[in-house]
Amino acid sequence: MTGPGPPDAELVARALEQDRFAVAQLVSLFEDRRPTAMERRARVLEAAEVHPRRHSATVFGITGTPGCGKSTLLSRVVPDLLAFREELTVAILAVDPSSTISGGALLGDRTRMKLEHDEPRLFFRSQASDTQLGGLSPSTFRVCRLLSRLFDCVFVETVGVGQSEDDVRSVADKTFLVLQPHGGDEVQFLKAGIMETPDAFVLNKCDDPSTERGYHQLRSSLWLARPFDADEVPIFKTSAKTGVGVAELVASLAAHLAAEPSRRPERRDALFLERWVREEWGRAGSRFLEVLGGAEHHVRVSGGVERAQVQFELRFREG
Amino acid sequence: MTMDERPPHLIFDKENKATRDPAWIFRTYAGHSSARASNELYRANLSKGQTGLSIAFDLPTQCGYDSDDSIARPEVGKVGVPINSLDDFHVLFDEIPIEKMNTSMTINGTAMWMLSLYVALARERGIDTTLLSGTTQNDLIKEYLARGTYIFPPEASLRIIAEMYEFCIDSMPSWNASNICSYHLQEAAATPAQELSFALVNAIGLLDLLKERGRFNDEDFERAVGRISFFVNAGIRFVEEMCKMRAFSELWEEITRDRYQVKNRKFRLFRYGVQVNSLGLTESQPENNAWRILIEALGVTLSRSARCRALQLPAWNEALSLPRPWDQQWSLRLQQILAYETDLLEYPDLFDGSLVIQSKVEDLKRQARREIEVILGMGGVKAAIESGYMKSALVRSMSARMKAINTGEQLVVGMNKWTEGIPSPLLSGADGGIFKVDPQATRGALGSLERTRKNRDPYRAKRALDALQEAARSGANMMEPSIECALARVTTGEWARALRQVFGEYRPATGVDGQKLGLENDRVDLLRGRIDALVQRLGHRPRLVVGKPGLDGHSNGAEVIAVSARHVGFDVIYSGIRLSPDEIVLSAVEENADVIGASVLSGSHLELADQIMAGLRSHGAEQRVQVVFGGIIPPTDFAQLYAAGVKAVFTPSDFGLVEIMEAIVGLIERAPA
Q: Are residues B483 and B400 in the same domain?
A: no
- Is residue B570 within 8 angstroms of chain A, CB to CB? yes
Is residue B570, in this structure, part of any structural domain at all? yes
Among B289-303, B382-396, B534-548, the least confident range? B382-396
Domain containing residue B483: 439-503
- CA gap B196, B164 in Å, rounded: 25
Q: Which of B450, B472, B503 is the last residue of a domain?
A: B503
Do A254 and A157 have their domain in common?
yes
**B555 in the same domain as B447:** no
Q: Model confidence at A186, in pLDDT bands (50, 70, 90)? A: low
Chosen domain end from A258, A274, A307: A258
The pLDDT of B19-36, averaged and rounded, is 92
Q: Mean of the pLDDT values across residues A114-140?
A: 74
Asked whether the beta carbons of residue A108 and residue B574 sit closer than 8 angstroms, the reply is yes
Cross-chain residue pair B569–A104, CB shorter than 8 Å:
yes
What is the C-alpha separation between A155 and A176, in angstroms, rounded? 10
Better-scored residue on pLDDT, B651 or A240: B651
Give me the DSSP letters along A255-305. Answer: HHHHSPPSS-HHHHHHHHHHHHHHHHHHHHHHHHHHHTT-HHHHHHHHTSH
Tell me what the pLDDT averaged over chain A comes to.
79
Q: What is the pLDDT of residue A262?
A: 58
pLDDT at residue A100, as a whole number? 65
pLDDT-wise least confident of A163-177, B84-98, B147-161, B369-383: A163-177
pLDDT bin (cut points 50, 70, 90) of residue A93 is very high
Q: What is the CA radius of gyration of chain B?
A: 25
Q: Do A106 and B562 touch (CB under 8 A)?
A: yes
Does residue B318 sit in the same domain as residue B184? yes
Cβ within 8 Å of residue B242, ≥6 positions away = B298, B299, B300, B302, B303, B306, B351, B357
Are B75 and B551 in contact, with CB atoms under 8 Å apart?
A: yes
- Give the residue from chain B lying closest to A116, CA to CA: B583
- B389, B419, B449 - which closes a domain: B419
User: Under DSSP, is residue B642 helix (H, G, I), strand (E, B) or coil?
Assistant: helix
Chain A, nearest residue to B540 by Cα: A32
Q: Is residue A97 domain-shared with residue A47, that is, in the same domain?
A: no
State the pLDDT confidence band at A119, using cuts at 50, 70 and 90.
confident
- B6 within some domain: no
* Residues B528, B482 within the same domain: no
Across residues A114-120, what is the average pLDDT? Answer: 71
pLDDT of residue B667: 94
Same domain for A113 and A194, yes or no, is: yes
* For range B280-294, the mean pLDDT: 91
Q: Which residues pair with B573 in a beta bridge?
A: A107, B545
- What is the pLDDT averaged over residues B150-154? 90
Across residues B348-365, what is the average pLDDT?
96
The pLDDT tens digits of the residues spanning B158-194 come to 999 999 999 999 999 999 999 999 898 888 889 999 9
Q: Are B511 and B391 in contact (CB under 8 A)?
A: yes
pLDDT at A116 (0 to 100): 60
Do A108 and A220 share a domain, yes or no?
yes
> Domain count of chain A?
3
Which is more confidently placed, B505 or B54? B54
A198 and A170, same structural domain?
A: yes
Residue A302 and residue A242 in one domain: no
The tens digit of pLDDT for each residue in A140-162 reads 888 988 998 899 999 998 875 54
Chain B residues lying within 8 Å of A124, measured CB to CB: 590
Interface of chain A against chain B, CB under 8 Å? 3-4, 20-21, 23-25, 27-28, 31-34, 37, 98-99, 102-108, 110-112, 114, 118, 123-126, 128
Q: Which residues face A201 on adjacent strands? A: A177, A235
Q: Is B81's pLDDT higher than 60?
A: yes
Residues A121 and A249 both lie in one domain: yes
Instruction: Tell me the average pLDDT across A270-288.
Output: 84
Across the interface, whether the CB atoms of B510 and A111 are under 8 A apart is answered yes
For A29, nearest residue in chain B (alpha carbons): B539
**Bridge partner residues of B400 (DSSP):** none
What number is the ipTM of this complex?
0.84
CA–CA distance, B525 with A212 (Å, rounded to integer): 52
Q: Name the residue among B566, B575, B619 with its Cβ closest to that of A105.
A: B566
pLDDT digits (tens, 9 = 90+) for B374-416: 999 999 998 888 777 887 788 778 778 877 887 888 899 988 8
Query: Strand pairing partners for A179?
Result: A203
Task: Please state which of the ranges A68-77, B255-264, B341-350, B469-478 shows the lowest mean pLDDT.
Answer: A68-77
What is the domain count for chain B?
Answer: 3
Give the separation between CA B53 and CA B69, rounded to whole angstroms. Answer: 28
The letter for the amino acid at B547 is G
The pLDDT score that the predictor gives to residue B519 is: 56
Same domain, B370 and B325: yes
- Phi/psi at B663 (5° precision): -65, -40
The strand ranges marked E within chain A are 58-64, 90-96, 105-107, 122-128, 153-159, 174-179, 200-203, 235-237
Nearest Cα of chain B lies from the Cα of A197 at a distance, in angstroms, of 31
Give the pairing of strands B102-106 and B53-56: parallel
- pLDDT number for residue A3: 46
Of B572, B586, B619, the CB nearest to A105: B572
Q: Are residues A211 and A170 in the same domain?
A: yes
Give residue A34's domain range: 1-54
Model-level pTM greater than 0.80? no
Q: Are residues A62 and A37 in the same domain?
A: no
Q: Enumerate residues 6+ apart whose C-beta is below 8 A from B333.
A: none
Residue B496 or A204, more confident? B496
Q: Tell me the count of A-B CB pairs closer than 8 A.
A: 100
Nearest to B589 among A24, A37, A99 (CB): A24
Report the residue from A25, A108, A118 with minimal CB separation from B592.
A25
Percent of chain B with pLDDT over 90: 63
pLDDT bracket for residue B146 (50, 70, 90): confident
Pick from A4, A25, A107: CB nearest B571: A107
Q: Where is pLDDT greater, at B554 or A77? A: A77
Question: How confident is residue B353, by pLDDT bands cut at 50, 70 and 90?
Answer: very high
Task: Read off the pLDDT of each residue in A85-101 and give the average, rounded to a whole number.
Answer: 83
> What pLDDT sits at residue B98?
96
Quick one: DSSP state of residue A178? E
pLDDT at B215 over 90: yes
Is residue B545 in a domain? Answer: yes
Residue A162 confidence (pLDDT): 47
Tell whether B464 and B409 lie within a shared domain. Answer: no
- Asked if the Cβ–Cβ distance from B573 to A37 is below 8 Å, we say no
The answer to whether the Cβ–Cβ distance between A114 and B541 falls below 8 Å is no
Task: Check whether residue B469 and residue B405 sit in a common domain.
Answer: no
**Is 60 exceeded by the pLDDT of residue B566?**
yes
Residues A196 and A242 in one domain: yes
Judge: A126–B573 Cβ closer than 8 Å, yes or no: yes
Structural contact between residues B636 and B606, judged by C-beta atoms closer than 8 angstroms: no
- Host H or E run for residue B650: strand B648-650
Do B171 and B65 belong to one domain?
yes
Please report whether residue B448 resides in a domain: yes
Is there a single domain that holds both residue A175 and residue A291? no
Sheet holding A235-237, edge to edge: A122-128, A90-96, A153-159, A58-64, A174-179, A200-203, A235-237
What CATH number did the domain enclosing B530 receive?
3.40.50.280
Interface contact A106-B563, CB threshold 8 A: yes
The more confident residue out of A34 and B220 is B220
Query: Are both B256 and B173 inside the same structural domain?
Result: yes
Q: What is the pLDDT of residues A30-58, one digit of tens each?
A: 998 887 888 888 889 888 877 776 667 88
Higher pLDDT, B552 or B524: B524
Domain stop point among A22, A38, A54: A54
| Inside any domain, residue B312 | yes
Looking at A258, A286, A310, the residue that finishes a domain is A258
pLDDT mean over A182-207: 70
Predicted confidence at residue B478, as pLDDT, reads 98
**Closest chain A C-alpha to B171 CA, distance in angstroms:** 37
The torsion defined by the Cα of A199, A200, A201 and A204, in degrees rounded to 10, comes to -130
Q: Report chain B residues whose CB lies below 8 A from the CB of A114.
A: 507, 583
State whether A64 and A176 are in the same domain: yes
Element (H, E) at B134: strand B133-136
CB half-sphere exposure, A230, CA atoms < 13 A: 0
Classify residue A33 as exposed, middle or buried by CB count within 10 Å of its CB (0-12, 13-18, 19+).
middle
Chain A environment of B589 (Cβ under 8 Å): 20-21, 24
Residues B415 and B282: beta-carbon distance below 8 Å: yes
Contact B230, B270 (CB under 8 A): yes
Domain co-membership, B482 together with B365: no
Under 8 Å between Cβ of B135 and B105: yes
Task: Classify residue B512: in a domain, yes or no.
Answer: no
- Closest partner residue to B672 (CB to CB) among A4, A105, A108 is A4
Distance CA B600, CA A303 (A): 51
B432: in domain: no
Q: Are B42 and B72 found together in one domain?
A: yes
CA distances (Å), origin B149, targets B55, B459, B554: 16, 31, 9
Which CATH number goes with the domain that contains B274? 3.20.20.240
Put simply, the answer to whether B531 touches A31 (Cβ < 8 Å) is: no
- If asked whether residues B542 and B645 sit together in one domain, one would say yes
Is the pLDDT at B1 greater than 90, yes or no? no
Question: B126 vs B437, which has greater pLDDT?
Answer: B126
- Side-chain-facing half-sphere of B37: CA atoms under 13 Å: 23
Average pLDDT of chain B is 90
Separation CA A129–CA A164 (nearest Å)? 11
Least confidently predicted of A171-175, B30-34, B51-55: A171-175
| Beta carbons within 10 angstroms of residue B582's beta carbon | 17
Nearest residue, CB atoms, B673 vs list A3, A23, A102: A3
B261: Cβ contacts below 8 Å, ≥ 6 apart: none
3-class state of residue A62 by DSSP: strand
HEC string for B600-633? ECCCCHHHHHHHHHHHHHHCCCCCCCEEEEEECC
B580–A contact, CB cutoff 8 A? no
Pairing of strands B18-19, B11-12: antiparallel
Instruction: Pick A102's closest partner by Cβ from B536, B568, B582.
Output: B568
Q: Give the model's pLDDT for residue B514.
A: 43
Range of A261-270, B319-328, B359-368, B502-511 with top mean pLDDT: B359-368
Task: Check residue B553 and give its pLDDT.
Answer: 67
**A108–B575: do the CB atoms touch at under 8 Å?**
yes
Average pLDDT over residues A61-89: 85
Residue B534 is predicted with a pLDDT of 92
DSSP code, position B106? E
Percent of chain A with pLDDT over 90: 16
Q: Which residues of B touch A99 (CB under 8 A)?
A: 566-567
Assess if residue B78 is contained within a domain: yes
